[in-house]
Structure 1
C-alpha cells in the first residue's frame, strides 16, 4: 500500500484530520503541522522517508506540487461547506441580497457555479494563485464595497482595518474526509495497476468530487458543449473522426481527449501533417509509414484538406481497420475530398464552433485570461461588467488567441485597477481600428483567396450567420461566391464582373458604416456606440470613405 502523509499549516486542520481518520478507521504514514516557508523541504524529507502521496492545502499544496514530483491531494472546501459559510454571513449581516466577497487561493475552493443565486447573495470571487496578490485582492474587495469578506488571516486583517465584517474561511470535516478518501483511492490505484507513483489524478472540487472534464479548456456555451459531447461519444469507438476548425488550436485538446478516452489510450498517438501540393502516400502507407507505426494506437492527420487524391483513396480502405482522427482547417471540406471519402466522413464530423458563434463564452474567458495575466505579471486588475459586455459585442475573427492577446495587452498597459468600457474601446480601436477581418492581409488589406470565401467574413454587427457558416456547403454555392463576391458585399456589379475590382477590408468597413448609419437613421452618436468607437473616430472614417 502506498504511504500517505498529511502536511497542514495549523493545529485545527491537524485535529480535523485526526477525528476524520478515527471515524473512517484509517491511518496515515505521517501527520505534521508545517510552516509554509519550509513546505518544500518538509515534503522532500517526507519523500525520503518513504512517502508516496501527500495531502496538503492551499499555498502549501501549490508549492509542493511545483517543486516536487509527488502526487498531491488538495484539501478543498466542499460546496455544502461554502453554502453554510455564506448562510452564516447572511445571519451576521441581517440584510437581503448582501454583497459577499470570497478572497482566497484558487485551489482551496470548489466549483462555485450558481451558489450566489442559490443563497440569494451577490457573491464575488477574488481567487489568486500568487500569494503576493492576496493582499491586493482583499483591497480590491474593500474598494468594491463588499458588505462582508470571507478569507484567511491576511484577508481578515485588511477587512478589519477597513471596518468591514469578515469571516474566517475554515475547512470542514467533510473537506478533510474527501481529501483522505481521494488519497486512499489514489493509493489503491497504485497498488492494483502499473500506473507509476508520480502520476497525479485530476482533483474534483464540486461537493468534494467533480466529474472529470473531457477537454482541458474552459467554455460554457451550449454549442461548444454539443461538440464536446459528440467527440466524447465518438471517442469510445473506432469510427473515423473528422474535426473541423478553420481558426484556432482547440482541435489539439479534442485530439488528446479522444485518444486518452479511447481503448487505444495506452498505445501510441502518431501524428502526420499533410502539405499542400505534396503527396502523402509514401509517408502514410509506406513500409515505415505512419499507418504501420500507429497499428494499435491512434493516427492523427492534420491539414487533412491538403491530402492528395491517391492518398484519399487508400485512406478510405484503411478507415475500418484503424483509429483515425482527421483535422481540417476549413469548413468546406467537401470541396477537397473525393465523393466516396466525403460520404464516409460527413456523418462523423465534429465542428468546433468559433468564438464569434459562442459569444456567451467571451465574458467567462475574459475573466480567466485576466486572472492568468495578473498572476503572471504580478498585477491586479478587474474588469467591470459593462466592459465585459462591450468585449462580447466586439469582432474577434482570431478567436480565443486574439481575445487572450488583447486581454494581456490591456493588463500590461493599464495604469489603474478597474478596467472600464472606455479602456477596452480605446485599446480595441488602437490595435484593430475596426479594420480587422478573418483573413485580412496586414500589408495589402486584401482578402486572400482561401476556402473560407468572402461570405465567411461575419458582419461586425450580426456576428456569424449560422446558415452561411455551416460545414459541407455545396461546390456550386462556393463557386457562385468565388465567381461573384459582389453578391455578398454590394460591390459595383460592373466593376466586379470586369475583374478590375478587388474586395478589400476597406470595402467591408465602408459597407458596415453605411449599414450602421442607415439602421440608426443617420444618428452618428448611436452609430459610434453601436460600432464600439468614439464619435471622433467615426467622423474620421466617414471622411476617409467620402460619406460626409
Structure 2
C-alpha cells in the first residue's frame, strides 16, 4: 500500500499526477479528486488506508493541516506555471496593454514572483489569505484597488463570477506535481528516520535502571521510560503532558529554569519520590545551539539496608525521635542560603557524617532535620544530643550507652537508639576528649565502646554534627581531635548569618507576621521603612532573635501600621547596645539612632542641655524625658 496519497481539486490535475507516477514508476495508488468542504474527511479516510503523507493544494491543504495531524506536502506553482497563468489572464482583457492582475491565495502556493511585472508587462499584486473566510474580503479589496483580472482557486473564481468580473483559475502542470511528490517522499524518509531514532532511544531508556523523564522547554513531561513508570506508579500516558512542578512539587523549579536558560550545564540534587530518596540529575537537551528541553535521571542508592518495621517506627514517634522540618518549609530568597540548601540536598543521600557550621540562632537543627527527611534514613529515628552543659560521664551515657544504667535510653545510648536513623550531635566542640575518641571509632570502624570495652556492633546510622566554632582552630589549640575533625569536615555546610542575607530577613518577618496574625488576631501591616530598619539591624541572635522580636512587635504595636520609629523604639528597649564581632576581628557597636544623636549633641555643647534642647527645637523638659527614655547620661553631669 502506498504511503503517499494525492488529493487534488481538479480532474485534469489528477490526470497529470497519474502521468508523473507512470513516467517515474512510483508506488502511489491513492489518488482522488475531492471537494474543499470534504477535504478533512477525505484526508482521514486515506490515513485509515495507510497513507502517511498527503499531497494537496491551496485551501484544501490548509484545511487538512489545520484540522488533522497528518503531514502535508503542498503543490507549489513554479515560475513557469505562474507565467502561463499570467499569459492566460492577459487574454481575458485584450484591450489592456499593461493589465492589473490580482493574485489571491495562500502564500505557500507560489514560488518567487519578484520580477513577474517586468517579465510579463503586467502589474501583478499578491493578496495573501491565511483562511478561506478572507477570500471575499480580498476579492473586494482587489477590485477596489483597480484589478482587471482576479487570479485564484475555486473560491476566488466563484466570487469573481458572482460579481461579473474576469477570473483566472490557478492551473498547475506536471512540473509542480513532480516537485511535490519529491517533497512527500523526503517527508516519509524523514519520518522513517525519526521512527528509527525514537525506537532506538526508547530501547536505551527502557533498558536503563534509572528512571528517566524528558522535559520540554515549558517544563512539561514528554517521555517517560519503564523505570519512570515504576517510580511514579503511573503509566507513561498519565505522566506525558503533565507539568513537572505538579509531578514533583518539592523540586526547586528555579534550578530547572537555570538549566533550561543555559545558566547551568547540569544540576544535581536529592529528592523524595514515592517514599524513596533519589538522586536527581538534570541535563539540557541542546540542538543547533539552542536548549530544547532537558533529561531528568533519578538514581536510587541500592545498597542493602535493614528494614524498619511499623512497630519500631511507631515507637520512635511516641518517644519524640522525629524530624519535622523539610526543605520545602524553608523560606529562602538569598543566593547564599540557596547554595547552602543545594549542598545539603546533595549531601542527603550520602551516609557519611555532615558538619553544619553556623552562629547561634541560625537554622542548624532545622537544616539537619531537612537532611534527615531527604535521606534514606527518613523512616528511622532522629535522635538529638546536645553536648553543652554535660559532664564527660553524662556524654558517654547518652551517646554510647551504659549497660548498668536503669533507664533504657541511657542503657542503649543514642548511637544504638538511632540505628537506621540519624543522630544529631549539637555543639560538638564541647564533646570531651574521651567521647571524641569513642565517636571517631564508632563512625570510622563501627566500633561501639561502652564501659571502656570496645566491641564491634553493626550500626547503620548517620551522624550530623553542628558547631558555632571554627573546629580547625580548636584542633590547633589541642582541644579537638584531628582525626575526628577530618572525618566530619568532608561534608560541610556553613549557614550564613542573617546579616549576610537581608533578603531572608524580609521573608522571615513576613512569615512571622502571618503566623502571629493568626495566633493573636491582630492585623497590622509593616511599612517599608520599618522593614528596611529590620533588615539593617545585624541580628546577632539570627533567626531566633528575629522571631522573638517579631512576636513582641506584633503584640505591642499601638497602631495599624508598624513604622520604623516603633521598630527603633523596640530595638532600643530590648537591645540598648549590641556588640558584634565581624569576621576580621573588629567589634561593631549598635546604638539606637536617637541615642547616638543625643550623645553627639551633648558632646558638642559640653553638656549644656539648654543649648541641646534649643538645637533640637524642644523644651529642656522634653529633652530630659528623651534622655531618660533612652538611658543617655551626659559625662558632664558626672563631674
Asked if these proteins are the same fold (TM beyond 0.5), I'd say: no
TM-score with structure 2 length normalisation?
0.38
Higher relative contact order (CA 8 A, sep 6+): 1
Larger proportion of strand: 2
Larger Rg: 2
TM-score with structure 1 length normalisation?
0.44
